[in-house]
Structure formats: C-alpha cells, structure tokens
C-alpha cells in the first residue's frame, strides 16, 4: 500500500481559506486598532496556522488496487474509501497561488453527498499529480500495477489507451464565440461606465482629462439627440465586444478537447490552468446551445451535465465553446454515441402536445393584478386617476407580451421520446437542445397546480442525480398526461 501526504503548501492555502471566511471580522478589528487588538489578531492568526498544520499532519492518502483511502482527523478520526470506478471527475487546477509555489491542486469528485461538496482536494507537485492521475486511470482500466506515487509510471505500465487530441480551439474561434454570444453582465458594466463618464473624468486633476472632458461636452452639445444616442449605443456595443473578447481569450485560452475510450479530457485557461478528466459513462446529458446570433450563423456551444464539472462559482460545464453542425455530427456523436440523434427529427414534433391553458392562466393573473392595482389607486386616491389608468394599461400590455411569449414557447417546443433517449428542444430567442439518455435519469417528478390538475396537465422534472443546484433538474413545462405517462414508461423500461 502506497501512502502519500499533501504538500506543505496545503497549510498556507487552508489558512488563507479560513481567513477569507472571517475577512470582515478582521477588517472591523483593524479600525481604530490598539496594541492589544494587534496581539489578539496575531494570536488568532497563530491559532489558524496551528489548526491548518494539524489538518495537514493528519491527512493521508493510501493507494490500493481498486480504491484509495483518505485518513484524516487528529481527535476525531475519519476514513473515506473511494473506488476508482466511482470517480465522476478529476479536476487539475493551477492558479496563481499554485504557480507561486510550483504545485498543482487535484479535486476528485465521486458523487458522494456525505462529503459536503463531494470533493477531495490534493495538493502536490505537478509531476506527482500527473502520476497520481495515471495511476488512477490505470487501476480503473484494471491494469495490474503497483507503483510508487513519487515515481513516474514505467512505459509498459501506463494505460494503453492514450489520449488523442480531438480539437484545440483557435484564437479566431474564441473571438467569434465572444461576438456571437455577448455577455449581458459586461454590457451592464460598460453601460454604467459610459453613463458616469463625466463623474469619472472629474476624479482626475490632470489638465489633460479636464481638456478632454471640455472637448467631449462641447462636441456632444452640437449633435442632435438621436445622433448622440446612436453614437453612444455603438460605442457601448464596441467596448462591450472588446471586453467580451478579452474575457474569452483569458478564460478559455488554449481550450483543448482530448479523449480515449474511457475518458474525456478538457483543458483550458491563461491565468488559472484547469484540466478535467471525465469518464464518458458518467456524462448524464449533453446540451446544444445557440444564442440568437449563433442561430443566424449556424454555430453551437456544447455543454454537458455530470458530477464535478460546472459546480464551482461562475463555472460552466463546457465541452466545447463554439463549433458547427459538422463537428457535432462527425465528432461529438462519434465520441458520445449514446447521445446521437438526428436534428431533423425535431421537426416531426411541432409542439401540439402542449396545452393552451397556460396562456389563459397567465393572462387572467396579469389582468387580476392590473384591476386590483387600478381599484386600490382609485379608492385610496394614492395617485391621480390618469396615472393609475396608464399603469393599468401598461400592465395589460405587459400581460399581452407575456401571453405572446408563452404562445411562442408553445409553438416552438419540440420533444422526442424513444427507447433510449429523450430529446427536448426549447427555441424562442435562444435555442437549447437537451439530449438525455433514459439511463441517466435517476427519477422523475410530476407537479400540478389547481388549474393544471383540472385539465390533467403537468410540469415534469427529470432529475439527473448529480447533486447540482444548477443543472441537476431539467424541467419540461405544461405537458399532457399521456406524454408524461409515455416518459414514465420509457424510463421505467430503461
């Protein structure tokens, strides 16, 4: 049995993590700090370091033939056994902190709910982490090897199915991805900057900025209002696209998709390097996404759903950021044959299985809100009658818009159910195609409100059992009972 321990860098990282959780307490203590306060802060920092040292000292990983064991705890001992064939994702991460100390962090996710976030973190040198991953893959492939984790695997003992590169994204594709899928968040930031540009310039005392402000104000005063609005909108969009491109180039730099018969490997990043190893048989669903502009030019973004990828903050489980239909048909479906389907099949279902009661239901609710608002404003004379009437008409217009959107969703809904796969398509402004093998569904949940119950309609939720708040449940709204029964029967037989 081979036993290893985390790098001592783990002590610093664990201490910093604890400090991050208590940052505001320390910030409050620094205000009007006296000598005794400084002593208290130093004492607390010492306690945090001692606690992190104890955690590191009593954390061991043992490598066995079919599993590895984690022993941890100084006073309360805990042993966790993780079998290699149960691993969902191996995430190799090298951020700026890890680069500073020349180490790599490995997170292993086996789908357990007992382990909090279901992740085991290991911090070692890059060579040792790479060797650890090779050992795990070898054991998963039932290769009979006993190796020291501190030494590289011999060539004859390495996994035979070596990874082959399927696709590496180009700079042109990254720029195209940013242009065809603009980020609303960056648009808001850029817009806020432009609307406050005068205040920003006032913060500088330089004569150059004062002159620029004077020229800017003089020029804008000479323009017609519509010209100023047009130029401002164009400037906002240009700066937004530039910011999106920079973010895309940094976040998904050198994005590479590799695979073998057992696993998919995804690596990317400029500042923070990330590499994910995902067993193919652990992928629960594939989602083909198209923004409005991507639909116009025939491009997709491919995402997956599985345990351990996409469960961190601001992380998206991307299989490939941008691709065309040929890549999906010739590469993706060859790599993941259980997800293969013909998109033209989606045209066979025109959404007639959807009910129309949801449109009436939405209109009645909005109309009731509008009438109640008008009565309250009129009876209590909170505002003038003309203004309350305008609010009433605005709410009626909003209800009509909601009904129109609901109707368009009804018309552009498509659903295919067969023995092995459920394909669900939502196509309004953006288009999302969910490809879900029936074997991936852990259970289904049918919900009915009072109106839906009367007309025997359901909201159907397919739970993939991956423990993610985002992505575990896939909702199929407002379907008839016979369709719900058909999905239930398909899943039951599967």
Could you tell me the mean pLDDT of each successive run of 10 residues in the chain, 494 residues long? 80 84 64 69 85 87 82 82 82 86 85 55 85 77 46 46 73 88 61 52 51 60 61 75 85 89 88 88 89 89 84 80 90 88 64 59 79 79 74 82 75 76 82 87 79 75 67 71 75 64
Phi and psi of 17, rounded to 5°? -65, -40
Residue 159 confidence (pLDDT)? 46
Residue 260 confidence (pLDDT)? 83
Does residue 16 belong to any structural domain of this protein?
Answer: yes
Q: 423 and 402: one domain?
A: no
Give one DSSP letter per residue of 415-441, joined into a string.
EEE-SSEEEEEEESSSEEEEEEEGGG-
Q: 406 and 419: one domain?
A: no
Does residue 259 belong to any structural domain of this protein?
Answer: no
* Count of domains for the chain: 4
Which residue, 251, 273, 295, sits at the end of a domain? 251
Does residue 336 belong to any structural domain of this protein?
Answer: yes
Does residue 258 belong to any structural domain of this protein?
Answer: no
Residue 113 confidence (pLDDT)? 47
Does residue 30 belong to any structural domain of this protein?
Answer: yes
Does residue 480 belong to any structural domain of this protein?
Answer: yes
Which helix (H) or strand (E) covers residue 174, if one does?
helix 171-180
Dist. CA 74–CA 147, nearest whole Å = 28
Q: 7 and 135: one domain?
A: yes
Q: 383 and 325: one domain?
A: no
**Residues 275/296, Cβ–Cβ less than 8 Å:** no
Which residue, 135, 166, 197, sits at the end of a domain? 166
How many contiguous H segments (helices) and E segments (strands) does the chain have?
17, 20
Residue 189 confidence (pLDDT)? 57
Q: Which residues pair with 123 in a beta bridge?
A: 105
Strands laid side by side in the 473-480 sheet: 443-447, 457-463, 473-480
Q: Nearest-CA neighbor of 2 among 187, 153, 120, 142?
A: 153
Residue 149 confidence (pLDDT)? 44
Which residue, 395, 411, 427, sits at the end of a domain? 411
Q: 138 and 10: one domain?
A: yes
Tell me, rounded to whole angstroms, the distance of Cα 362 from its chain centroid.
Answer: 30
Q: What is the 3-state secondary structure (H, E, C) of 300-361?
A: EEEEEEECCECCCCCCCCEEEEEEEHHHHHHHHHHHCHHHCCCHHHHHHCCCCCECCHHHHH
Q: 372 and 475: one domain?
A: no
Does residue 399 belong to any structural domain of this protein?
Answer: yes
Task: For strands 256-259 and 263-268, give the pairing.
Answer: antiparallel
Q: 191 and 90: one domain?
A: no
Q: 388 and 297: one domain?
A: no
Q: 7 and 104: one domain?
A: yes
Residue 300 confidence (pLDDT)? 93
Dist. CA 233–CA 259, nearest whole Å = 44
Q: 82 and 45: one domain?
A: yes
Residue 488 confidence (pLDDT)? 75
**Residues 466/111, Cβ–Cβ less than 8 Å:** yes
Taking only Cα atoms into account, the Rg of the chain, rounded to an integer number of angstroms, comes to 28
Dist. CA 87–CA 68, nearest whole Å = 11
Q: Nearest-CA neighbor of 130 among 166, 97, 154, 104?
A: 104
Does residue 257 belong to any structural domain of this protein?
Answer: no
Give the structural domain span for 188: 173-251
Q: 63 and 202: one domain?
A: no
Q: 433 and 378: one domain?
A: no
Dist. CA 105–CA 101, nearest whole Å = 11
Residue 303 confidence (pLDDT)? 92
Residue 109 confidence (pLDDT)? 80
Task: For strands 273-279 and 285-290, give the pairing.
Answer: unpaired
């Amino acid at each position: 049995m081979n036993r290893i321990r985390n790098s001592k860098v783990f002590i610093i990282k664990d201490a910093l993590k604890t400090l991050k959780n208590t940052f505001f307490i320390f910030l409050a203590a620094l205000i009007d700090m006296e000598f005794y306060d400084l002593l208290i802060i130093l004492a607390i920092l010492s306690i945090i370091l001692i606690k992190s040292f104890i955690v590191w000292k009593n954390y061991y990983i043992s490598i066995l033939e079919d599993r590895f064991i984690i022993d941890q705890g100084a006073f309360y001992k805990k042993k966790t056994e993780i079998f290699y064939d149960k691993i969902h994702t191996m995430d190799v991460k090298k951020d700026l902190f890890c680069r500073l100390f020349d180490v790599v962090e490995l997170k292993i996710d086996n789908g357990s709910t007992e382990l909090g976030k279901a992740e085991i973190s290991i911090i070692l040198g890059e060579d040792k982490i790479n060797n650890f991953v090779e050992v795990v893959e070898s054991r998963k492939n039932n290769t009979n090897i006993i190796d020291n984790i501190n030494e590289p695997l011999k060539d004859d003992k390495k996994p035979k199915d070596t990874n082959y590169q399927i696709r590496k994204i180009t700079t042109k594709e990254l720029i195209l991805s940013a242009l065809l899928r603009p980020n609303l968040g960056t648009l808001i930031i850029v817009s806020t900057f432009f609307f406050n540009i005068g205040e920003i310039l006032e913060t500088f005392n330089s004569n150059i900025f004062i002159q620029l402000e004077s020229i800017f104000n003089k020029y804008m005063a000479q323009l017609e209002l519509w010209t100023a609005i047009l130029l401002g909108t164009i400037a906002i969009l240009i700066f937004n696209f530039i910011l999106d491109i920079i973010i895309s180039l940094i976040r998904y730099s050198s994005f590479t998709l590799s695979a073998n018969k057992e696993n998919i490997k995804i690596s990317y990043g400029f500042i923070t390097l990330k590499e994910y190893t995902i067993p193919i048989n652990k992928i629960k669903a594939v989602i083909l996404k198209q923004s409005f502009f991507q639909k116009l030019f025939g491009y997709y973004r491919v995402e997956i759903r599985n345990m351990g990828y996409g469960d961190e903050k601001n992380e998206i489980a991307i299989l490939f950021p941008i691709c065309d239909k040929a890549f999906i048909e010739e590469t993706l479906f060859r790599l993941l044959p259980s997800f293969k389907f013909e998109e033209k099949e989606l045209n066979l279902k025109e959404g007639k299985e959807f009910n129309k009661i949801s449109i009436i239901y939405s209109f009645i609710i909005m109309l009731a809100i509008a009438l109640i608002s008008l009565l309250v404003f009129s009876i209590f004379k909170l505002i003038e009658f003309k203004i309350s009437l305008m609010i009433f008409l605005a709410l009626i217009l909003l209800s009509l818009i909601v009904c129109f959107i609901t109707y368009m969703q009804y018309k552009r809904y498509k659903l295919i159910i067969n023995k092995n796969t459920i394909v669900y398509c939502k196509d309004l402004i953006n288009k999302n195609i969910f490809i879900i093998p029936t074997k991936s569904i852990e259970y289904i949940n049918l919900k009915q409100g009072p109106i839906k119950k009367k007309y025997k309609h359901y909201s159907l939720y397919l739970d993939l059992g991956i423990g993610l708040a985002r992505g575990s449940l896939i909702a199929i709204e407002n379907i008839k009972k016979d369709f719900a029964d058909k999905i239930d029967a398909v899943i039951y037989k599967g």
